[in-house]
Amino acid sequence: MTESARPAFYALRQGGWRDYWTLLHAPYTGWHLSYVAIGATLAPTLSIPWLIESLAAFLLAMGISAHALDEIQGRPLGTDILERTLWLLAALGLAGAIVLGVHGMFAVSPWMGAFILAGALIVVAYNLELFGGRFHSPAWFAIAWGGFPALTGYFAQTGEVSVAALLVAGGCVAVSVAQRRLSTPVRDMRRRTEIVHGELVGRDGVTRRITRATLTEPAEGALRVMSVAMPLLAVGLVANHLL
């Protein structure tokens, strides 16, 4: 599979264990898990066990369950994973996240139940495009994969919601909007576009041919950098509490 033919820049050659790596969307999963850590670091005292548990819950729900459900919907990644295996991954991932959330209800706050319900609804409704696809939109993507993880990360540490946490969650929503605007045309180019044809004529008369690379590399390059930058930011904020 050539670079341009891959469904995502992080996708490996189709087949076997490589399909499971591709399914994980590792750069983006790490990016969105960073929001959990960023929200958690707003707490006056950072509990590493609760941070680990929060990260594990989102890895199960978002990194595994949500992506398995998304692959069931039309095979956007083109994996060979059996549909029944995808359903099993989705169910186990979501169930594991709910179990961790229930633990939080007893140890942190009963209001963690609201986060559990919201998270489960988001995972299922967004990725299966329920309710006529109303939840499968750029706005819901930004709220679900940006603001919600940050706010949950903070709540798991403190058992409350603060103005600072809401502001940071809003910032994560804004970054997720930028991510979506960059990734959508790249995804369409990789997965839906068959032929690219055209040219750019500069004011100096120089003509440049339009290729897949000229259309995808600027946005995809920015996405690659941001998928590294956000985890580094999160690790730095956690380290600030520990060192």
**Residues with Cβ within 8 Å of residue 194, at least 6 apart in sequence:** none
Q: Which of 92, 100, 78 is nearest to 11 (CA)?
A: 78
Contact predicate 41/164, CB 8 Å: no
Per-residue DSSP letter, 161: -
- What does the pLDDT average to over 151-170? 98
For 199, which DSSP code?
Answer: E
The tally of CA atoms less than 13 A away on the side-chain side of residue 14 is 13
Q: What's the mean pLDDT when you consider all of the chain?
A: 94
For residue 205, the model assigns a pLDDT of 86
pLDDT at 58 over 70: yes
CB of 173 closer than 8 Å to CB of 143: yes
| Rounded distance between C-alpha atoms, residue 224 and residue 23, angstroms | 17
User: Residue 124 has what pLDDT?
Assistant: 95
Q: By percentage, how much of the chain surpasses pLDDT 90?
A: 82
The pTM assigned to this predicted structure is 0.94
pLDDT band, very low/low/confident/very high, at 55 (cuts 50, 70, 90): very high
212-242 helix and 163-191 helix, angle to the nearest 10 degrees: 150
Question: Is residue 1's pLDDT more than 60?
Answer: no
3-class secondary structure, 32? helix
Domain ranges within the chain, ordered by starting residue: 17-242
Beta bridge partners of 207: 201
* Residue 5: predicted pLDDT: 73
**How far out from the chain centre does Cα 23 lie?**
12
Is 60 exceeded by the pLDDT of residue 72?
yes
Joined together, the tokens standing for residue 69 give 């459900």
